[in-house]
Structure 1
Amino acid sequence: MLKHKWLAGAIMMMLPWLSFADASLTLTGKVVASPCTVDTDTVNKTVDLGTVQRRDLQTAGEGGEWQDFDLLLTNCPAGTTKVTATVSGTPDTQDATAWKNSGTSGNMALRIANRDRSQTVAPGDSLAQNVNISTRSASFPLSARMFTPLGSATAGTFQSVMNVDFTWQ
């Protein structure tokens, strides 16, 4: 009887060694380029859009003068070759390709475009620039103006916010 207990105990101790399972482990990661430095003037940029007379804003599309500005990134590491700027903010309710005016003037919105104004930049758009390898910088030359999407603008203040997220490659 003692022999059977010893044999049963030995078999029980061997069971964990007899059972096994295959396992597969997948490890993932990402290699990314080092970041550039966002220029201090770009971090909290204010673009003065000037003053426009209400009488000059009676027809849809009329607006103020275009004001040029740049989003500048500097000190890009040697491995960083491209910068993408994704813009966001509250779209205007009358024109989804423009930014909403949070000031007191009515029927007004913010229009952003590339420097030659051949392409409108709308909330949610992404812009890409290659890093200049000699200066190790990237610049996004843009223009902005306030305008009336529907016409019949009313007098008051104008303010709009465009957020920018930068990614690098």
Structure 2
Amino acid sequence: MKHITILFSLLIYSAFTSADAVNINVSGYVAAMPCEIERNNYSIDLKKVNAWNIRDSQVSPWVDFSIKFKNCPTKTTQVIMTITGTSDLINGDYFINTGTSKNSALNLVNTLNKTLIKNGTKIIVAVDNNSRSVEIPLSARIVGYGNGMSVGTFRSHVEFTLLYN
């Protein structure tokens, strides 16, 4: 009887002490924080432009502005900015005007070398090692084409995505 009690006790004990294997997987990614961008939104005022000055393939004066970054991490050596927007339907080198003025578009360039910026253009700029900052200077203007340009509002929208290396 004593053996049966011990055997029964062992069976009960083993039933309550069975264990399941539990796996815990931990994952993540360690990355440097990106540069701080000076502003998240930019509104560039191309001012009031005389339609007679930009009709028939003429242009308005350039308006300069910059996208600025600061406090770039030590390991970050360059900023890659990809610019996207809706291309103009008549001339794909420009961005579409969604305002009420007809036959006009946005001409955007890199100010340093006047390189044309169109949908999908990538600009690569090195981070200044001393200041840990980057400045991407841009210029914008209205271009007119054809003789059907009309007066009205001018609006264009471009976005940029950033990659830090």
TM-score bracket for the superposition, by shorter chain length: 0.7 to 0.9
1:92-122 Cα deviation digits (max 9, x unpaired): 0011111100100000100001114531111
Structure 1 unaligned blocks of 5 or more: 1-28
**Cα distance in 1, alignment partners of residues 53 and 148 from structure 2:** 9
Partner of 1:57: 54
- Runs of 4 or more, structure 1, over 6 Å off, are none
SS of the equivalent of 1:56 reads helix
Provide the alpha-carbon RMSD of the alignment: 1.7
Report the Cα offset of residue 152 of structure 1.
Answer: 3.1
Q: Which of 125, 130, 135 is equivalent to 1:129? A: 125
SS of the equivalent of 2:52 reads helix
1:24-59 Cα deviation digits (max 9, x unpaired): xxxxx987553111112xx11111101111212221
1:36 aligns with 2:32: no
Count, aligned residues: 138
Residues 55 and 145 in structure 2, CA contact (< 8 A), matched pair in contact too: no
Residues 129 and 138 in structure 1, CA contact (< 8 A), matched pair in contact too: yes
In the TM superposition, 1:1-169 aligns within 5 A as 33-40=32-39, 43-60=40-57, 62-116=58-112, 118-169=114-165
Structure 2 unaligned blocks of 5 or more: 1-27
Residues 79 and 125 in structure 2, CA contact (< 8 A), matched pair in contact too: yes
Percent same amino acid at aligned positions?
31
